[in-house]
Amino acid sequence: MKLKRSEAQSSARQFRLRGYWVLGILLVAAGGLVGRAVYLQVLNQRFLAEQGAERYMRIASIPAHRGAILDRSGEPIAVSTPVDTVWVIPKELASAADQLPVLAKELQRDEDWLTRRVTSNLDSSYLVLAKQLQPDEAERIKALHLPGVYLQREYRRFYPAGEVTGHVLGFTGSEDQGQEGLEFAFEQKLQGENGLKRVIQDRMGRVVENVDSIRPARPGEDLITSIDLRIQYLAYRELKAAIRDFQARAGSAVVIDVRTGEILAMVGQPSFNPNDRAQYDVSRYRNRAATDILEPGSSVKPFFVIAGLSSGKFKANSVVDTNPGFIRVGNRVFEDEHNWGQMDLATILAKSSNVGMAHVALALDRSSIWNTLSGFGFGQVSASGFPGESAGVLTNYAHWSDVQVATMAHGYGMSVTPLQLAQAYATLGALGVRRPLTLRRVDGVAPVGDRVLDAQVSRDSIHLLESVVLNGTGTKAAVRGYRVAGKTGTAWKAIPGGYSTNKYMAVFGGIVPASNPRFAMVVVIDEPSSGKYHGGDVAAPIFSAVMAGALRLMAVPPDDLSHVSNATFVQTEVPR
C-alpha cells in the first residue's frame, strides 16, 4: 500500500516538474516575443519603417515644361504641347481580350498587331503601345475603362510656322531635348530643371498616391529671337519660288539689321517641317546658310576695292587701264568679256571686270588685303552661336602667290558661308563697324562692335556699289523708291580636278537704303539649271522682292524720291 502511495507521489512530482518546464518555456517564449516586439517597435522602428517604405515608396521625376521660342514681336514659333503615352500591363489587358479590337481602332493600329504585342509580352509589367497622342485621343482611350491600360502625360514640341522656320529652330528628340538649331544651341536655357516628388506605388509600379514634393520643377525660360516672322516668311516664299522657277539644287538667304547685328531672317531650300519626323534627314534639315561654304565669285570684289581704298593707293575716282582686255599673271591669263579699256572703280564693279580687279589686287600689299578680309569676318565664325557654323577658308597671306591674289580678287581660292558674306555686307552697311551677329533680340542699346573700316571709306564703297544696281549687272536688285548698293556673283562650282563649266553658284549681296543703311541681305542659289544662272538674273530678283517687303513692313522711309513722287506705300500683308 505504501509502495503505491510512493509511486503516486513520484508521478505527481514529475507531472509538476514537466508543468514547470512547459511554463518556463512558455514564459521564455513570451519574453522573447515581447523583447522582439520592443526591439522592432521601439529600438529599431526607424530602420524598419525605411525598409518598408522602400518597398512601396519611390522618388519620381516631375518633368519641367520646356520654354517657348518666340519671334522678335512675341509670336510663338516653338511651343511644348501636352501629349500622352499609352502603356499597358499585358496580363491585365489580356483578361479583356474581347475588347482588343476596340482599343486597336482607337490606336489606329491593326488588331492582329495589337493582339500579338500583348500576348507575347505577358511577363512584362510595362508595355508602351503608343506615344505622343493628342489629349482628345488619349481621353477616348481612357473612356474605354479597359483593365491594365494607363496614360502617362508628356510634352511634345510643336512648331506653328512649320518649314518656314525649320532650319533656324531645328528640333528636339524623343526626350524633348534639343538636337539641332536654336533648340540645341539654347538647350540649357529652354529645358529648365525637372522636379522630384515622393510617391506610393503598387506592386505593378503604378502611382497610387503623391506623398509630398521634394523639389518643384523649374520651367524652362522662353527665348525671344531676333527673327522677324514676317520677313522670314517673305524670304522663305521668294527663295522657294526661285528654286522652283530656276530648277536649282538648293539655296539660302540671310537678312541682317545692320544697326544691331540681329539676324532677321535665315532660310534655306530644300526645307523641312520639324513637326514631321519623317523629314529628319541631314540633307534637308541642315542650315545651309551657316554650314555650307562656297566660293563667292564676284560678290567678294567690293572688299578688294575696299582694301585698295583703305591702303590709300586708290581713291573713289581712280581709273584703271584694262587694255587689252586681259592680263597675264604667271602662267594664267585673266580676261573680260570685252575690252573695257580705261575704267574707274565704279565701272569695274558695275561691269564686274576681272581684269580691273586683278590690277587693283596686285597693286596692294598682301597683308593689307588679308587684314581687310579678316576684319570683315572672312575665315572666322560669327558670334551667332549657331550650331555647326563653318568658318570658311581664308589662308594666311604669307602663302599667297600673284596668281592666287588675282584669283581671289574675282572670288575663287577662298570660301565663305552665306552668313559670313551677309555679315561682311552688314559691316559695310554699318559704315565699317563689325557687330557680332545674334539670333536673340537686342533690347536697349545695340552692341558697340569693332571698327574695321573708316566711315568715309565705307560711304565711298557703298556709293560705288550703287552703280552695280543702277547700270551694271545687278539692275534686277533695284527696289522702287530706295537706293540699293550691292554686287552680283556667278561662280563655277568646284569639282574633283578643277571646276565645272556647267554648274554655277549665283549670288547677290546688298545693302538698302544706300543713303542710310538698315538691311543687308545675301542670296545664294546653288546650280540653277533653267537656262539662267547669273547672279544678276537669279539671285538679285529675290533680294529686290524681299527687301521691298521688309522696308515697308519696318516703315523705312524711301531715300530715292525721284521715283516715288506719286507712289503710295502700304504695309505688306504677311500671314503670321
Tens-place pLDDT, residues 47-68: 655 555 555 566 666 677 899 9
How far is Cα 138 from Cα 86, in angstroms, rounded to an integer?
8
**477 near 508, Cβ under 8 Å?**
yes
Examine the domain organization and report whether 272 and 353 are in the same domain.
yes
Q: pLDDT band for position 210 (50/70/90)?
A: low
Given this model, what pLDDT does residue 574 score?
Answer: 38
Q: State whether 233 and 209 are in the same domain.
A: no
For position 70, what pLDDT does the model report? 97
Note if 298 is an active site residue: yes
The reply to whether 13 falls in a domain is no
Residue 25 lies in a domain: no
SS3 (DSSP) at 410: coil
Asked whether residue 454 falls in the same domain as residue 417, the answer is yes
Determine the pLDDT at residue 570: 39
d(CA 271, CA 263): 19
* CATH number of 487's domain: 3.40.710.10
Residue at 102 is within a domain = yes
pLDDT above 50: residue 153:
yes
CB distance 528 to 246 below 8 Å: yes
Is the pLDDT reported for residue 564 higher than 90? no
Same domain, yes or no: 168 and 211? yes
Q: Which range among 20-24, 112-116, 191-195, 418-422 has the greatest average pLDDT?
A: 418-422
Check pLDDT > 60 for residue 369.
Answer: yes
CA distance 141 to 106: 7
Q: Are residues 304 and 182 in the same domain?
A: no
Task: Cite the DSSP H helix spans in 363-454.
Answer: 366-375, 402-409, 418-429
pLDDT, position 576: 35
Lookup: cell for 191: 529645358
Q: Does residue 53 sit within a domain?
A: no
| Domains held by the chain: number | 2
- Note the pLDDT of residue 254: 98
Do 535 and 494 share a structural domain?
Answer: yes
Q: Which pLDDT score, from 0 to 100, does residue 45 have? A: 63
The predicted pLDDT at position 54 comes to 55
- pLDDT band at residue 101 under the 50/70/90 scheme: confident
- Is residue 554 located within the same domain as residue 418? yes
Q: Write down the pLDDT at residue 116.
A: 86
* 160 & 235 share domain: no
pLDDT at position 7 over 50: yes
573 pLDDT more than 70: no
pLDDT of residue 567: 40
User: Which of these is catalytic: 80, 226, 298, 299?
Assistant: 298
Beta bridge partners of 58: 199
Q: Would the CA dihedral through 128, 130, 135, 141 be positive or negative?
A: negative
Residues 248 and 167 in one domain: no
Q: What confidence tier does 209 reach under pLDDT thresholds 50, 70, 90? A: low
pLDDT at 377: 95
31 pLDDT band, cuts 50/70/90, is: confident
- Over residues 451-480, the mean pLDDT reads 96
pLDDT the model gives residue 569: 39
Domain co-membership, 268 together with 161: no
569 in any annotated domain: no
Q: Identify the residue whose cell numbers are 522656320.
A: 165
Which pLDDT tens digit goes with each residue over 240-253? 999 999 999 999 99
Instruction: Provide the pLDDT confidence category of residue 96 given band limits of 50, 70 and 90.
Output: confident
For residues 5-17, give the mean pLDDT.
Answer: 72
576 falls within a domain? no
pLDDT value at 239 more than 70: yes
Domain boundary among 201, 224, 247: 224
The reported pLDDT for the residue numbered 361 is 97
* Helix/strand/coil for 570: coil
CATH at 140: 3.90.1310.10
Same domain assignment for residues 124 and 206:
yes
Relative to beta strand 223-224, strand 69-70 is parallel
* pLDDT averaged over every residue in the chain: 88
Q: Is 529 a domain residue? A: yes
Average pLDDT estimate for 547-552: 97
**Each residue's pLDDT tens digit, 348-364:** 999 999 999 999 999 99
Residue finishing a domain among 206, 224, 242: 224
Of 148 and 457, the structure prediction assigns the larger pLDDT to 457
Give the up-direction half-sphere exposure of residue 438: CA atoms within 13 A in the CB hemisphere: 21
pTM of the entire structure? 0.82
Q: What is the pLDDT of residue 204?
A: 53
Q: Is residue 26 part of a domain?
A: no
Structural domain boundaries, residue 253:
229-278+286-563
Confidence of residue 334 (pLDDT cuts 50, 70, 90): very high
Same domain, yes or no: 268 and 202 = no
pLDDT by residue (tens digit) across 158-204?
A: 999 999 999 999 999 877 889 999 999 999 999 887 777 666 666 55
User: What pLDDT is attached to residue 538?
Assistant: 97
Per-residue pLDDT tens over the stretch 215-231: 777 888 999 999 999 99
For the chain, the first-to-last Cα distance in angstroms comes to 123
Q: What percent of the chain has pLDDT over 90?
A: 60
pLDDT > 80? residue 475: yes
| 321/13: higher pLDDT | 321
More confident residue, 560 or 475: 475
pLDDT of residue 218: 81
The answer to whether residues 520 and 429 touch, using CB atoms and an 8 Å cutoff, is yes
Sheet holding 207-215, edge to edge: 57-62, 195-201, 207-215
Q: Which pLDDT belongs to residue 199? A: 64
Q: What is the share, in percent, of the chain residues with pLDDT greater than 70?
A: 89
Whether the per-residue pLDDT at 438 is higher than 90: the answer is: yes
Instruction: Among 207, 224, 241, identify where a domain stops.
Output: 224
Residue in this structure with the C-alpha cell 489580356, named with its chain if needed: 94
> How does pLDDT run across 381-407, given as a tens digit for each residue?
988 999 999 999 999 999 899 999 999
